[in-house]
Structure 1
Amino acid sequence: MRPAGTAEAGVVYPPVFVVDGQAGYPLPANPVPRRRGTAIWPLYLLLSLALCGMVVEACFIYHLYTSTGPPGTVSDVERAEKISQDKQPVKGSDLMMKPSKPTAHLTIAPNLSSRDGVLLWNTEGNTIAHELAYKHGGLEVQKEGYYFIYSKVFFREPTCKMFTHTVLRSTPRYLGDVMELMESRRVHCHDPRELQSSYLGGVFHLVKGDTVQVKAKNHSLIARQHSYDNFFGMYMI
């Protein structure tokens, strides 16, 4: 016998073991790697959110407990007493907030007017007088500016007599008599039992020291049924 791979008479013998590269045997498939943790992270997220909610709720309860105290403590009693005190009525001008500008609203006085026909006004009760001084039936200006002045009176229609309703201004800047700012006149003859009203209102520039008054001729005809029927006031605009 001759060793494999030796030739005799020009004949070449192949080796005993030959690998055929063209064989159609399939190669084994690569193993698919496993995904670890894909089903666990949602659980971690939910657990974290639950813990955060518990912490926030605990902080809120602690803050509420420390600020107000437990039910039935002294803080609750004091708070209830304060609420009851706030509901009690307050006397005088404490019921109203002070205006930011000079303001006055007066109702007519029981004696109605002075000898010269200037109407007198009541400064008590449901009246306002802020930064405007009441003197001799008039309002004295403390601050210069533009003011809206108004007045309203109820009166019985005169029997063929003239009834006048006038708003006057006296100022230290001008010498002489007072100045008429507004006036209303009635000269018709009607039943004296019939009630009429006269309203005057307008804007005027006033300086410090000016005094505004309301005058009525035949003031005995003024009807005083209610305190709010006849009024006089002004305010800075």
Structure 2
Amino acid sequence: MKAYKGRGGSSPRTQSGSALAAFGCHMEDHAQHVQPIPLPAMQQNLNYLYPQIFWVDGCTNPSTSCPPTPPVAPFPPPVPDRRTKPRGNREGKNVGFLVVSLLILLSLTGVGLSMFQIFRLEKELAELRESASTERIPPALEKLIGEKSASAKKEERKAAHLTGNPTQQDLPLEWEPISGHAFTAGIQYRNRGLVINETGLYFVYSNVLFRGSTCNSQVLTHIVYKKNPTSPGSQVLMEDKKINYCANQKMWARKSYLGALFKLREMDSLHVNVSKITLVNFEESKTFFGLFKL
């Protein structure tokens, strides 16, 4: 068996030995060239990897002038905690609660007053029903009626209506002031006349019925006049005369009516006069005298 010869005529074992010898030479050369790294250089490498932080408080060397200290940037304001609600919202809610409470209180007060009024009206209605059953007027209703009657008296119009009085014998005519249709309101009947107690405009009227069994040529006269104690004599306000009122000697009847508006003064007294009292029919629906204030 022939031995294997490599390139250059050497065997594998010879080649491996030469390779190891070459590697050992190279290792020795590398060991000769590699030098140990000094400690300061290693420290610099560590500082590069992990830089150190220094707090400079001031200048260490008092002999040298120190550069001015740069201004320190202000810290940003703290972020408010959103979990805590602002005070303003809390106060607003308090004010709103107070307003709502006041509104509720006013509503309850109004309801209470309404209930009180309803209760009072029901009580008065019950008293009215009880009085109607017992024919007695309750005090509250009696007071109300009294107030209404007092106000009605204040607003009552001044007026008077007198009717004929058949028992009279002389002039001026005498009248009936209270019986039948006769009345006086705010006007006095005195000395056969109506006395004015307040100056103003008055409508005065008078009606007289004349009748007879025989006809003659006598003139029938119907007069309304006034007197006043501050002035002498009398003053005619209205007058009516009847001529040729009958014929053929038969029974007859004629009516005489007077009515007009006058401005009368206080203390004026009005009277009625006729030409012949025996010819007057004194029935209350045929002969009357009156006035009313406008």
Please indicate the TM-score interval, normalised by the length of the shorter structure: 0.5 to 0.7
> Which protein shows a greater Rg?
2
Deviates more, 1:196-205 or 1:157-166: 157-166
Supply the distance in 1 between the matched residues of 2:135 and 2:192 (Cα, whole angstroms): 42
**What is the CA RMSD across the aligned residues, in angstroms?**
3.0
Change (3 A) 1:206 1:76: closer
Q: What is the number of equivalent residue pairs in this alignment?
A: 158
Determine whether 1:208 maps to 2:263. no
Deviation, 1:77, is: 5.3
Q: Does the 8 A contact of 1:159 with 1:189 survive in 2? A: no
Q: 2:239 aligns with which of 164, 183, 204?
A: 183
Larger helix proportion of the pair? 2
Supply the distance in 2 between the matched residues of 1:83 and 1:189 (Cα, whole angstroms): 60
Q: Which residue of 1 aligns with 2:131?
A: 78
Change (3 A) 1:162 1:208: same
Q: Which residue of 2 aligns with 1:193?
A: 251
Q: 1:218 aligns with which of 263, 267, 276?
A: 276
List alignment gaps of at least 5 residues for structure 1: 1-58, 85-93
Q: Which residue of 2 aligns with 1:172?
A: 229
List alignment gaps of at least 5 residues for structure 2: 1-114, 138-148
Deviations 1:179-217 (A, max 9, x none): 110001012151552221110001111111111000011
Q: Does the 8 A contact of 1:161 with 1:189 survive in 2? A: no
Change (3 A) 1:228 1:123: same
Q: 2:162 aligns with which of 84, 106, 114?
A: 106
2:173 partner letter: L
- The structure with higher relative contact order (CA 8 Å, sep 6+) is 1
2:190 partner letter: K
Structure-1-length-normalised TM-score? 0.58
Determine whether 1:233 maps to 2:290. yes
Q: Which residue of 2 aligns with 1:151?
A: 206
Structure-2-length-normalised TM-score? 0.47
Q: Does the 8 A contact of 1:106 with 1:232 survive in 2? A: yes
Q: Which residue of 2 aligns with 1:3?
A: none
Between the two proteins, what is the percent identity of the paired residues? 24
Larger strand proportion of the pair? 1
